[in-house]
Structure 1
Amino acid sequence: MTVEITSKIVGYRIKQQAPEAPSPTLPEEDPLTVRIPSRPEGTLEAVSEKISYVGAEGRKKVYLLVSFMPVEGVVGGKRVVIERPVEFFFPSGQLSSEHQWITATMRSLSLAARGGYVTQAVADLRKVAWDKGLVRCGMNRWNKPMFHDSEVAAIAWSIQQILYRRGFLDQDGNQVPVESLVERYAHRMQHGHAWQPPAEDTPAEAESGAVEPIGQDAATSNAPSNGPAVVGHCPECRGELIMMDGCPTCYAGCGWSKCG
């Protein structure tokens, strides 16, 4: 558009553009607590693990499946994505007498995962005790056996280990901050594999602050006893015997018991 100037120019001013309207701020939505109504259709990425433990009834081996999925949220006004466990599955037929209770527990854990409080739920299962004596499951960073108050506690510890190796929990079984989860998921998407604990966290570097399996107290783990007192050696495999329910029982692997 052309404008004719008919008077003397005595000054000028640059016309300012109208300020843009500020973009609306996204409401905060913690991806850790976003409720997932149900398991989504289709395929989910999962971790399958064989758990081996020894208790009053001898050695048992069971399989556990934990499924994961990406979950969106808003942190600091930015849309982010993390990975969360959403499903726990214990295939039937492994422990027939306790199957209904195990199935119920796995369903409850799945609900807790989709509700955003699975970390607390698994920690509570670690506290379950029974009257059949200690259960040996897993090894600490000094390659010594760990003992749990029940089979439920042993399986819960194994679940924590899965979530720790996946980067969802820290070495003490606590929830990893959402900012770290965002970084780990982005790293996974970029490099095409799951996040793993740092390579320097190995038994050879225990004195320099390396991590250990979840729930193992460093002071007690390094004690000379390293668990229940040894009362002899197994006649089957020559492993060490400990007292379980008043009977010398092998915890080295074969599950032999003097009481049968």
Structure 2
Amino acid sequence: MTVEITSKIVGYRIKHDEPAPQAAALLEEDPLTVRIPSRPEGTLEAVSEKISYVGAEGRKKVYLLVSFMPVEGVVGGKRVVIERPVEFFFPSGQLSSEHQWITATMRSLSLAARGGYVTQAVADLRKVAWDKGLVRCGWNRWGKPMFHDSEVSAIAWSIQQILYRRGFLDQDGNQVPVETLVERYHHRMQHGHAWQPPANEPEADTASGAVEPIGGAANEADSSAKKPEGSGPAVVGHCPECRGELIMMDGCPTCYAGCGWSKCG
């Protein structure tokens, strides 16, 4: 810019640039709880898993899909990125239950994920019970099958296992601290794949995040021994297919070892 001088010059000084104001500190924003308004457009990474369980209606196999996306936040004054689940999808037509309730549950779970409280929502689904007897799904740390109070509870436990293997939950079903999630996302950026639990680490535990198996610690005992009353399901024989233990489920001898055989078909 040109400035016209209209008076006598009697002196001068060199103008120095003023120091830039100190950058304002970033406001804390927990990436675990920041709300995601809606599922973003475009492609998201997802895990698709086939879940197998045995209940009153025999063995069933269903498919479940969980989508993940990176979410930014500010922790300790630093901008960080973690990976969060944002969408749960259970294709209809897989169960005899009404499709509208299945769809409604998955939509509610997706809203919980985008709202930042999916861990509590899944844990709450684990408490759902029904009147059709126990449902066998998954294995505990002793290699024994796990029993759940309903199909919903079994599927919720399976969701916890997906989130555990993705590094979002610990093996007890509890939320992993945000600092650890930041490290695991950084690992992903460096190595090109999501963090995964060590190969020698059991997939499920019997603490707060995994349903307590029938008999609890008694399952560590020799499988050929009869269980005392009150310590677990009574053994009523051995499976003709795998020679595993048979227990009574809904008045019918059913294989406890996991092959799915039932005397009632």
Normalising by structure 1, we get a TM-score of 0.83
- CA–CA distance in 1 between the matches of 2:123 and 2:22? 44
Q: Deviations over 1:87-129 (max 9, x none)?
A: 0001122114332222111111000000000000000011111
1:212 matched to 2:200? The reply is no
Question: Which SS does the other structure have where 1:97 is aligned?
Answer: coil
Instruction: Give, as a single letter, the amino acid of the residue that structure 2 aligns with 1:71.
Output: V
Question: Which SS does the other structure have where 2:72 is aligned?
Answer: strand
Counterpart of 2:249 (choices 236, 244, 247) is 244
Structure 1 residue ranges without an equivalent (≥5): 4-16, 204-210
Instruction: Give, as a single letter, the amino acid of the residue that structure 2 aligns with 1:156.
Output: A
Q: Deviations over 1:150-193 (max 9, x none)?
A: 11110000000000111101111111111110110011011001
Question: Which position in structure 1 is the counterpart of 2:186?
Answer: 186
Question: Which SS does the other structure have where 2:161 is aligned?
Answer: helix
Question: Which position in structure 1 is the counterpart of 2:172?
Answer: 172
1:110 matched to 2:105? The reply is no
1:119 matched to 2:89? The reply is no
1:89 matched to 2:89? The reply is yes
1:31 matched to 2:24? The reply is no
Using the TM superposition, give the Cα deviation of residue 138 of structure 1 relative to its aligned residue in structure 2, in angstroms.
Answer: 0.4
For the aligned residues, what is the CA RMSD?
Answer: 2.6
Question: Which position in structure 1 is the counterpart of 2:236?
Answer: 231
- CA–CA distance in 2 between the matches of 1:170 and 1:90? 23
Using the TM superposition, give the Cα deviation of residue 236 of structure 1 relative to its aligned residue in structure 2, in angstroms.
Answer: 4.9
Q: How many residues align?
A: 240
Using the TM superposition, give the Cα deviation of residue 78 of structure 1 relative to its aligned residue in structure 2, in angstroms.
Answer: 0.9
Q: Deviations over 1:58-107 (max 9, x none)?
A: 00000100000000011111111000000000112211433222211111
Instruction: Give, as a single letter, the amino acid of the residue that structure 2 aligns with 1:215.
Output: A
CA 227–61 in structure 1, closer or farther in 2 if over 3 Å, else same: farther
Structure 2 residue ranges without an equivalent (≥5): 1-10, 12-16, 222-226
CA 119–25 in structure 1, closer or farther in 2 if over 3 Å, else same: same
Percent of residue pairs bearing the same amino acid type: 86
Normalising by structure 2, we get a TM-score of 0.82
Using the TM superposition, give the Cα deviation of residue 221 of structure 1 relative to its aligned residue in structure 2, in angstroms.
Answer: 6.4
Question: Which position in structure 1 is the counterpart of 2:75?
Answer: 75
- CA–CA distance in 1 between the matches of 2:253 and 2:72? 52
